[in-house]
Structure 1
Amino acid sequence: MLSFLTAFAVTVAIYSLFTLGLNVQWGYAGVFNFGVVAFFMLGAYAAAAFTKEPAAGGFDTYVGGLGPKLSPPFLQGEEWVPFLVGALAAMAMCGALAYLLSFPALRLREDYLAIATIGIAELMRNVVVAERGLVNSERGLKGIPRPFYSLFSPDDYQYFYLLLAVAVLALVFFAAERALRSPWGRVLRALREDETATAASGKDVTAFRRQAFVVGAMIMGLGGAVYAYERGAVSPDTFTHFAGTFIFWAMLMVGGSGNNRGAVLGAYVVWGLWIISLQLLGYPLPEALRVRIFYIRDLLLGALLVLVLLVRPQGLLPEERRVSIWVERLLRRRPPEREGAQPLAGRAPEA
């Protein structure tokens, strides 16, 4: 039972990174990215290329061992360095891809932007399947090293990785909270609410949308790296539009768009429903239901999403209307009004 709960918590922590990245893009800037799976896949494969040993020949052909080659000379030989370099490379590559895609994509309307991002994600998946020399084609990459695996027993390592995943999530969550409460975050919210008014105030709308798109993609790339290190293998079959895009949108919509806490809560709720539905296989079900359990799981997820949209469309934890940190400090220093004192506008005129 403890192992099951640990695996559940690790997966939720990893998926929360994707919902946080999507929340930066959609929840704050209104950038409709329906190609999350592209950055998921790129981050996972990039991390694998930087940590896995080069191919030894035979049927496997891929690029590997980049981490030790690109590590600083004074850190050569350190076990943890390739994993850090791989995670940073995953973020950098996803950020670079988002930056390049932003020039044609962000000039489109929301509906066309969604279609464009879906097409880009599918194009990347087809390239991964067809390109054997870089990522071993449809065979995928197996035996990806895990950080600090030699220091723990197999039974204890899952608890260590849970702490590592939660630490990464906490770091990203704190950084996102600070950034989105800064002037930059307030511009993103203004852009989402009224793009014309934001542009009229002198803000470069396209530049801010591009920045949100890039930052969100970098967080997704980090999520892909943490996923690859935890699974120890990646395959093109993993990165489908349903499991790599739709489920993250469902998590964000259930939890609450525009609220980082809601993004994390949505990951817990949706993944919990996903796992609980699979646990039904352990019960004596009629054969007609047993063979359709995966369709029932998808049906339950869709029903939950529709229920939330009908009953609480803002999500379980809606966006908080907040002021800047400086305004909060100013309001705290403001002296309280005396009892019985009337504002100037409400005083009766003197005779």
Structure 2
Amino acid sequence: MMLDLVAYGAFFLTIALTYAVICLGLNVQWGQTGLFNVGIAGFVAVGAYTSAILTTPATADRFGGFDLPIIVGWIGGGLATAFVTFLLGALTLRLRSDYLAIATFGAAVVIQLCMLNLVPLTGGPFGIGFIPRPFGALAGNALAFGLANFAVIAVLVLVVYLVLERLVRSPWGRVLRAIREDETAARGLGKNPVRYRLEAFAIGGFVMGLGGAAQAHFIGFIAPDNYLPILTFQVWAMLIVGGSGNMRGAILGAVLVWGIWAVSGSVVSSVFPADQQARAAALQIVLIGVALCAVLLIRPRGILGEVRIVSRHLLRDARPKASAKERPDHA
């Protein structure tokens, strides 16, 4: 029993951390730059399908079957998503935030239709199966398999976190926040807001695609139903609960909201009969909404709010300097 609980906990944390990667990508776009992206589900799907096509074995009824290593599929999924977000951003980032939201939602709808109708490429409504899993040879041992997968995704989250932390603490990251807070002032200082926003949008898209690719390989099967607009709602809830603008908050929010989602799903499924699962799913969304409202009432900036000063040099300069009388005399 104890080993089964540990194996389930490893699987739970593995899926939660794949959402954490996606949430980190949204944090670059919204938390750091203020880009309102409501097409997350579509961008995650691009990464997942690209990686699946690159890494699955050859089949007679579907294009692909390149049987490449998993790491190649993950990088390919991230690059494909970055390319899609770059093209979309080049067309829409000069618009206001509400128009950007409409454009990203429309892009997600188009991607959803492509998943359903490009059957020779995506498998249509039946999706793509037999996606290789990391350490698939350990699948017979649930505990070892779960712990190995958890170790892989933990390393991935750590690498993505460290890279993004370095970026947001760099001059490039400070320009992003300056544009978010006052675009006119940033433009007056010689910064090009469109170029910086496009870079942030593409980098965030790469991270989202990477997270979608990793999630597809840990689950082993993808279909259009996996990438409905509810996925966008989940990721946004994760970022808001954890703390927009804070990388650690994005990770914490992903784990917490996924935990609420999993527990509430088990509870409502046990309460409602099989013929009322649609009502159960609606109640599950309501529970997430209630949790989101509670967090916003208690912590309006999220559990871990944004750190306003992110440079150690600024922190050093902000410390009060000792006067001549207060300095120790070493003479």
- What is the distance in 1 between the residues matched to 2:32 and 2:84? 20
Structure 1: unaligned runs, 5 residues or longer:
68-81, 342-351
C-alpha contact 1:20 1:260 (8 A) present in aligned 2: yes
Aligned residues: 321
2:223 matched to 1:242? no
2:142 matched to 1:141? no
CA offsets, 1:255-288, max 9 Å, x none? 11001111111112211111111232586x4769
Equivalent in the alignment of 2:20: 16
Shift of 1:145: 1.1
CA RMSD of aligned residues (A): 2.3
Equivalent in the alignment of 2:33: 29
Q: 1:206 aligns with which of 194, 197, 201?
A: 194
2:259 matched to 1:272? yes
In structure 2, the residue corresponding to 1:233 is in which secondary structure?
A: coil
Equivalent in the alignment of 2:286: 299
Structure 2: unaligned runs, 5 residues or longer:
none
Change (3 A) 1:260 1:286: closer
C-alpha contact 1:274 1:301 (8 A) present in aligned 2: yes
Equivalent in the alignment of 1:319: 306
2:95 matched to 1:91? no
- What is the distance in 2 between the residues matched to 1:2 and 1:228? 22
- What is the distance in 1 between the residues matched to 2:95 and 2:234? 24
C-alpha contact 1:62 1:132 (8 A) present in aligned 2: no
Correspondence list, 1:18-167, <5 A: 18-55=22-59, 57=60, 60-65=61-66, 67=68, 82-150=69-137, 153-155=140-142, 156-167=144-155
CA offsets, 1:34-71, max 9 Å, x none? 1011111010011111110111x2xx32322162xxxx
Q: 2:157 aligns with which of 152, 169, 173?
A: 169
Equivalent in the alignment of 2:204: 216
Shift of 1:3: 2.3
Letter in 2 for 1:295: A
Equivalent in the alignment of 2:219: 231
Letter in 2 for 1:12: A
C-alpha contact 1:256 1:263 (8 A) present in aligned 2: yes
C-alpha contact 2:242 2:253 (8 A) present in aligned 1: yes
C-alpha contact 2:135 2:148 (8 A) present in aligned 1: no
- What is the distance in 1 between the residues matched to 2:321 and 2:289? 51
- What is the distance in 2 between the residues matched to 1:144 and 1:289? 31
Shift of 1:325: 3.6
C-alpha contact 1:281 1:290 (8 A) present in aligned 2: no
- What is the distance in 2 between the residues matched to 1:135 and 1:282? 30
Letter in 1 for 2:116: V
Shift of 1:119: 0.5
Change (3 A) 1:335 1:262: same
Letter in 2 for 1:274: W
Letter in 2 for 1:49: I
- What is the distance in 2 between the residues matched to 1:18 and 1:242? 14
* Structure of greater Rg: 1
Change (3 A) 1:290 1:122: closer
- What is the distance in 1 between the residues matched to 2:287 and 2:134? 36
Shift of 1:7: 1.6
Letter in 2 for 1:63: G
After the TM superposition, which parts of structure 1 deviate over 4 Å for at least 4 consecutive aligned residues? 285-291, 328-332, 338-341
Instruction: Tell me the TM-score normalized by structure 2.
Output: 0.91
In structure 2, the residue corresponding to 1:264 is in which secondary structure?
A: helix
- What is the distance in 2 between the residues matched to 1:42 and 1:286? 34
Shift of 1:108: 1.3
Shift of 1:289: 12
- What is the distance in 2 between the residues matched to 1:31 and 1:281? 35
Shift of 1:209: 0.2
Change (3 A) 1:196 1:237: same
C-alpha contact 1:52 1:144 (8 A) present in aligned 2: yes
- What is the distance in 2 between the residues matched to 1:277 and 1:98? 33
